[in-house]
Structure 1
Amino acid sequence: MSESAAGRPGRGVRVGVSLVPDPLDPLGMDLTCLPGLARRAEALGFDRVAVSDHLLFHVPTPEPLVCLAAMAEATTRVRLATAVLLLPLRHPLQVAQAVASVDQLSAGRVELGVGVGGEWPADYHALGVDPRRRGRRADEALAILRALWAGGPVDAPGPEFPLAGVLLPLLPKQRPGPPIVVGGRSEAALRRAARFGERWDGIFLSPPQFAARRARLEELASAEGRVVSSGLVAWAAVGEPAAARQALAARLQAFYRLPFERFERSSLFGPPEALAEQLAAFVEAGATDLTLIVPASDPRHLEALAPVVEALDPVA
C-alpha cells in the first residue's frame, strides 16, 4: 500500500484493522505483543491499525494513546488510530497534548477516532461525569481540540471545559492537526461528524443502512460547508462459514454481553472471498475506509485477513 492517504494504488478504499482485547482469552491482553502486531499489520499491507477505549469495561482494555505510542516506535508507514477514544471522559487540553505527542512520535501518522460510549455508563459514573452530558462534552472538546492544535491562544466559555487564553506549547506534526474521525450510528454522531470530522465511521450497519446514513451525512456536511468521507467498522472472522460464525458469535456475546442475533446481520464471517464480497457492497454504498475488528490475542487473526485485503484491490 502507498504511504499516502489514498491507500494502495488501484484501490479506492483504505483497509485497516482494529485490535481489541479478546474476551475469550483467559490471560487477557498481552500489551507487549501490540508493537509486533502493528508491525505485522503494516507488513501485510493494512493502511491503519487502531485500538479501542474503555476504563471499567468487563474486558480489560488498555489506555489507547499509550498503545499508539508503543506501536509508533515499531512501525514506519501504517496509520495509527483510536477506534474510538471516549472523548467526553477526558479534558480536551490533556487529549490535545497527548495526541500531539503521539503524532510527533509517529512522524504524523495519528488519526483521532472519537465516540461517546453511552452503552457502558460505568465509565462515566466512576469519574463523576453525567452520561447525559456526554454529547455536549464531546462537541465542546472537539471545538477546543481544533483551536488548540491551530496554535493560537484559546478562549472557551464552557460550561463543560472553560478555558481562558490557553496556548498549547506542543503542536502535532500534522497541520492543522490530526484527522478527526467520529464514530457512531445516531443522528447526533452524524451531526458531530459534519461539524468536526474528516470522516464518519459507522458500525453495526447493513449496506442499505450505511448508504442512508452516508446520504444524511452529506446533507449535514453540505449545510456546514464541509466535505466529510464515510467509513465502516465491522467485526470480522475468516474461515469456513459455520466455524467462523460460531467463533465470532462467542466473542461478540462475551464482549457485549448481548445475543449474537443483535449483531449477526452487520458482522462479517466466512472465507476471504465472501468477506471481500460483503465489503464490496459497503464500498459501493460509499465507504472510502474499512476497519475490521479482530482480537489482539493471536497474529493469525491478522494473517487470515490478508487475502481479504488483496481481494479488495479491484474494488472501486
Structure 2
Amino acid sequence: MRLGLALPTFGADAHAEAITTVSRTAEELGYDSLWTGDRVLAPRTPSVPYPGKDPVMPRSYENFMDPLVSLTLAAARTGRVRLGTSTLNGLWHAPIMLARSLTTLDLLSGGRLDVGLGLGWMPEEYTAVGVPWRGRGARLDETLDILDAYWAGGEFAHDGPLFTVPGTVVGLRPRQRPRPPVLLAAFSPVGIRRLARRADGWLPVGMPLPRLTAQWSAILDEADRAGRDGAGLRMALRINPTLTRTPADPDQVPSQGTLNQYVAYARAAEQAGVHELFIDFQQTPATLAERLDLAARFIDGVRAG
C-alpha cells in the first residue's frame, strides 16, 4: 500500500517555506505522494453544515492556498513523490483552462500528477465563482469530456449543452499517457456509476473498513456492468485524524484515536485491499515540527507492520 501526506496549504503554516519543508521531508521519509485540498470561502455560518466529524467549519480554512500552485512548488522541490488533489473542485474552472493547468502541472512534475476531482459541498462557493449549484453532475460529465478530448491532442473542438470550445489544435500533451489518472470523490449511486464508467479510481474518506470495502465492492460491480476491468481501478483513502491521548473506543476509529490506533487502522486497510492511504495532520493542534514528527512515526509504524 502506498502512503501519502497532505501538504500544509491552509492555516498558519500555509506558506512556501512550510510546503517546501513538508515536501522534502515526506520524500526523505519514504512517503509516496503529497496531496492538497480546495476551498475558496470560509463563511462563519455556511448554509450547509460542514460535512466533517464536527459540523462547524474549521476556522483554519480562512487561510487557504491554491491547490495546483502549491503542488507546482512541491513538484519543484521533489523528484519522486506523486502529487494529488483530494479534492480539486474542478467545476470552479472553465474546462479548457482546467485542462491546460493540469497538463502543465503534469509536464512540469515529470508525469507525477493524480487528478482528484470532487463537487464540493458549499453552495456559497459556487456563487462566488459564478457557477450554478444546480446541475453539478451534468457539468462534471461535460468537463470530463473536454479533459479527455484535450488530453488526446491534435485537432479538438467541443459543442455541448454547457460549454463550447471552437476548433483548435492542441499540442500540449501530458507526460502520462493517455492522461493523468483521474480519481473521483463519489458516494451517491449516480456518482458511483460515473466513477465506474469514467474514472481511474476512488477518493473515499476514513470510515470503518467493513463500510469501505462494501462501497468498493459496489464500485467494482458497477465497473463490471459497464464493461470495464475493475482490477484497473485504485482507491486512495484520505484520513483526517483527531488524535487522542488515550486509546479511543475501537468503534470510534478512524474518527478519533491515538497515533498507534491510526497505524493499526492503516495496516488493516492495507490487508483489506486499500491501494493508497494518505493522512492529513493539518488540523492537529501542534507545530509544524511536531506534525512532521507525527508523520515520521506514522510511516515508520505502518511500514514496520
Question: Is the Cα–Cα contact under 8 Å of residues 199 and 230 in structure 1 kept in the other structure?
Answer: yes
Deviation per CA, 1:126-148, whole angstroms, max 9, x where unpaired? 12221122111111111211121
The residue type equivalent to 2:239 in the other structure is A
Hey, what's the Cα distance between the residues in 2 that align with 1:282 and 1:143?
33
> RCO (CA 8 Å, sep 6+): is it higher in 1 or 2?
1
TM-score in terms of structure 1 length:
0.80
The answer to whether the Cα contact below 8 Å between 2:85 and 2:117 also exists between their aligned partners in 1 is yes
**Deviation (angstroms), 1:78:** 0.6
Give the 3 Å change call, closer, same or farther, for CA 221–145 of structure 1 in structure 2.
Answer: same
Distance between the aligned counterparts of 2:188 and 2:253, measured in 1?
A: 18
Other-structure match for 2:128: 126
Answering whether residue 10 of structure 2 is matched by residue 17 of structure 1, we say no
Structure 1 moving runs of 4+ over 6 Å:
none
Deviation per residue, 1:158-185 (Å, 9 max, x gap): 2122224343331111111211111233
SS at match of 1:241: coil
- Which one of 55, 65, 69 corresponds to residue 62 of structure 1? 65
In 2, Cα distance between equivalents of 1:77 and 1:268: 31
Q: What is the Cα deviation at residue 301 of structure 1?
A: 1.4
Q: Secondary structure at the match of 2:105?
A: helix
Match of 1:276 among 252, 255, 263: 263
2:240 equivalent to 1:235: yes
Structure 1 unaligned residues grouped into runs of 5+ = 1-12, 246-262
- Indicate yes or no: 2:85 matched with 1:78: no
Match of 1:260 in 2: none
CA contact (8 A) 2:10 2:65 kept: no
Aligned residues of 2:154 and 2:171 also touching (Cα < 8 A): no
Structure 1 residue 289, shift from structure 2 partner: 0.9
| Range with greater deviation from structure 2 (145-154 or 303-312) | 303-312
- Consecutive unaligned residues of structure 2, counting only runs of 5 or more, are 44-60
**Separation in structure 1 between the aligned mates of residue 146 and residue 238 of structure 2, nearest angstrom:** 26
Report the 3-state secondary structure (helix = DSSP H, G, I; strand = E; otherwise coil) of the residue aligned with 1:269. coil
CA RMSD of aligned residues (A): 2.3
1:98-137 aligned at under 5 Å gives the runs 98-117=101-120, 119-137=121-139
Q: Does the Cα contact within 8 Å between 2:9 and 2:67 map onto a contact in 1?
A: no
Q: Does 2:39 align with 1:36?
A: no
Q: Give yes or no for the alignment of 1:203 onto 2:191.
A: no
Size of the aligned set, in residue pairs, is: 279
Secondary structure of residue in 2 paired with 1:80: strand
Q: Deviations over 1:81-100 (max 9, x none)?
A: 11111011111211111111
Whether the 8 Å contact between 2:7 and 2:23 is mirrored in structure 1 is no
The structure-2 alpha-carbon separation of the partners of 1:66 and 1:201, relative to structure 1 and needing over 3 Å to count, comes to same
Measure how far apart 1:281 and its partner are.
Answer: 2.8
Could you tell me how far apart the structure 2 residues matched to 1:76 and 1:279 are? Answer: 25
Closer/same/farther in 2, CA of residues 20 and 33 from structure 1, 3 Å limit: closer
- State percent identity of aligned pairs: 29
For 2:137 and 2:216, the matched residues in 1 are separated by 20
Aligned position for 1:165: 167
| Counterpart code for 1:18 | A
287-296 vs 306-315, which moves further: 306-315
1:98-152 per-position Cα deviation (integer Å, ceiling 9, x unaligned): 11111111111111111000x2111101122211221111111112111211113
